[in-house]
């Protein structure tokens, strides 16, 4: 097949960008950033991008078609067998040396190109809230991807530690850290928070409503802060992100609290929210990387986040970390940073330089070096 041959110098890469859609906000950001970096890398002879227009994408912008960038569409039902087989046939038809997918779902059947698969974490296998059938499905998908991948990567050393026990034969995936989109370092248009129901200063949490994001504890902590008047009033908690309607939204059970939900913000609004926040709170119990923390740093925010190993590994010098299992502990940590404007201002100055360590061009260069190897 056309995709079998390997070049020795410049590479032809097919990127599975079906995940650049609203249903995969984090992975979508990753594949979009990597695609742009690959499109401009001198070692990439041609970038092929596969998308499915049936997957809703309202704000993620992939590289436009050009002399060295070609878009290919598949039309199967998102997540279905037909869609996967269309991707496999495409990979085996176009002249590609590598097939890169930012997610562990590989279609069944033979692949001509070599494959690079990114596994972001093992959270579904470690979370008690994961249903048994999803746990089995994720584990099988991980085994299959690890067995099929020519190159298995992940996004942090902590994620590699999470993933390795579930791979057979055991081998740690290569670590390629995510980058931060350039837009998060840029100025933003004027922002009127009242237009979104926000009155007064606010704390911001950018998150989905998956169980490990720990939003119920954040809501409980906010109740403590409001009840005890531990921060200035009026103060609002803003929770923004892509929310699955089938999952619980714990703030809706607390209509008496000053909490504003902003569902599906586009990138301009997201950046405005970051820039206007008094502080950003990310109380997740598990992350492979945790992009919102790094985006907030790029925007010059004071960030309070979980004391997860990944943040100790990457941005320990730029954030305040705390235990997040107890609402009282989380409330005290929020109040301490909220009521310390000098500390927040210092963090705001130091955040962008730290965030600049995470660059998509560097991530693409590392991926290409591994492909060549």
Residue 7 has pLDDT above 50, yes or no: no
Q: What is the pLDDT of residues 164-217, one digit of tens each?
A: 999 887 788 999 999 999 999 999 999 999 999 998 999 999 999 999 999 999
Q: What is the pLDDT of residues 227-271, one digit of tens each?
A: 999 998 789 999 999 999 999 999 999 999 999 999 999 999 999
Spatial strand order in the sheet of 69-73: 69-73, 44-51, 11-16, 98-101, 114-118, 151-154, 174-175
- Secondary structure (DSSP) of 106-156: PPSS--SSEEEEE----HHHH-TTS-HHHHHHHHHHHHHHHHH-SEEEESS
CA distance 14 to 99: 5
Q: Which residues contact 62 (CB under 8 A, 6 or more apart)?
A: 17, 20, 32, 35, 36, 49, 51, 71
Angle at 65 (CA atoms; ends 62, 68), nearest 5 degrees: 110
Domain covering 11-179+359-372: architecture: 3-Layer(aba) Sandwich (3.40)
CA distance 17 to 14: 9
Q: What is the pLDDT of residues 123-136, one digit of tens each?
A: 999 888 888 998 99
**Domains 11-179+359-372 and 183-355 are alike in CATH topology:** yes
**Confidence band of 224 (pLDDT split at 50, 70, 90):** very high
Give the residue from 228, 289, 253, 352 showing the smallest Cα distance to 29.
Answer: 289
Give me 162's structure tokens.
């999470």
Reduced to 3 states (helix: H, G, I; strand: E, B; else coil), residue 321 is strand
Cα of 287 vs its chain's centroid, Å: 9
CA distance 287 to 285: 7
CA distances from 274 to 148, 293, 303, 353 (A): 40, 10, 10, 16
CA distance 212 to 283: 9
CA distance 75 to 120: 26
pTM of the model: 0.93
pLDDT at residue 88, rounded to an integer: 94
Strand partners for 311 = none
DSSP letter, residue 66 = B
pLDDT at residue 8, rounded to an integer: 54
CA distance 277 to 137: 39
Task: Tell me the angle at which helices 341-355 and 291-298 cross, rounded to the nearest 10 degrees.
Answer: 110
How crowded is the C-beta side of 365, counted as CA atoms within 13 Å? 7
pLDDT averaged over the chain?
94
- Average pLDDT (325-337) is 98
CA distances from 53 to 19, 73, 122 (A): 11, 7, 29
CA distance 123 to 134: 12
How crowded is the C-beta side of 211, counted as CA atoms within 13 Å? 9
Give the residue extent of every domain in the chain. Answer: 11-179+359-372, 183-355
Task: Tell me the angle at which helices 25-39 and 291-298 cross, rounded to the nearest 10 degrees.
Answer: 60
* Phi, psi (rounded to 5 degrees) for 335: -60, -40
Q: What is the pLDDT of residues 284-324, one digit of tens each?
A: 999 999 999 999 999 999 999 999 999 999 999 899 999 99
Homologous superfamily assigned to 183-355: Glycogen Phosphorylase B; (3.40.50.2000)
């Amino acid at each position: 097949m056309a995709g079998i041959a390997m070049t020795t110098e410049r590479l032809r890469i097919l990127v599975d960008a079906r995940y650049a859609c609203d249903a995969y906000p984090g992975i979508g950001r990753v594949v979009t950033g990597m695609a742009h970096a690959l499109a401009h890398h001198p070692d990439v002879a041609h970038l092929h991008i596969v998308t499915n227009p049936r997957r809703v994408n309202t704000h993620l912008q992939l590289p436009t078609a050009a002399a060295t960038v070609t878009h290919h569409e598949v039309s199967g039902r998102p997540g279905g067998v037909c869609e996967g087989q269309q991707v496999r046939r495409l990979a085996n038809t176009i002249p590609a040396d590598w097939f890169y997918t930012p997610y562990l779902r590989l279609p069944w059947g033979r692949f001509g190109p070599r494959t690079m698969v990114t596994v972001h974490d093992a959270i579904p296998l470690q979370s008690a809230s994961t249903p048994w059938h999803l746990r089995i499905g994720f584990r099988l998908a991980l085994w299959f991807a690890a067995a099929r991948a020519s190159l298995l990567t992940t996004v942090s050393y902590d994620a590699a530690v999470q993933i390795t026990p579930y791979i057979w034969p055991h081998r740690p995936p290569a670590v390629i850290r995510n980058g931060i989109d350039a837009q998060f370092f840029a100025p933003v248009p004027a922002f009127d928070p009242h237009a979104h129901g926000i009155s007064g200063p606010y704390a911001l949490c950018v998150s989905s409503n998956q169980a490990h994001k720990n939003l119920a504890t954040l809501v409980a902590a906010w109740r403590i802060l409001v009840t005890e008047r531990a921060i200035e009033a009026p103060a609002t908690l803003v929770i923004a992100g892509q929310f699955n309607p089938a999952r619980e939204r714990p703030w809706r059970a607390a209509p008496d609290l000053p909490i504003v939900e902003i569902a599906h913000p586009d990138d301009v609004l997201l950046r405005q929210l970051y820039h206007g926040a008094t502080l950003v709170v990310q109380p997740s119990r598990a992350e492979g990387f945790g992009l919102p923390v790094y985006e907030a740093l790029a925007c010059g925010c004071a960030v309070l986040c979980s004391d997860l190993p990944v943040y100790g590994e990457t941005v320990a010098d730029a954030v305040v970390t705390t235990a997040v299992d107890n609402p009282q502990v989380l409330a005290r940590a929020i109040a301490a940073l909220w009521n310390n404007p000098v500390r927040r201002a210092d963090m705001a100055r130091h955040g962008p330089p730290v965030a600049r360590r995470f660059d998509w061009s560097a991530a693409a260069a590392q991926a290409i070096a591994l492909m060549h190897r």
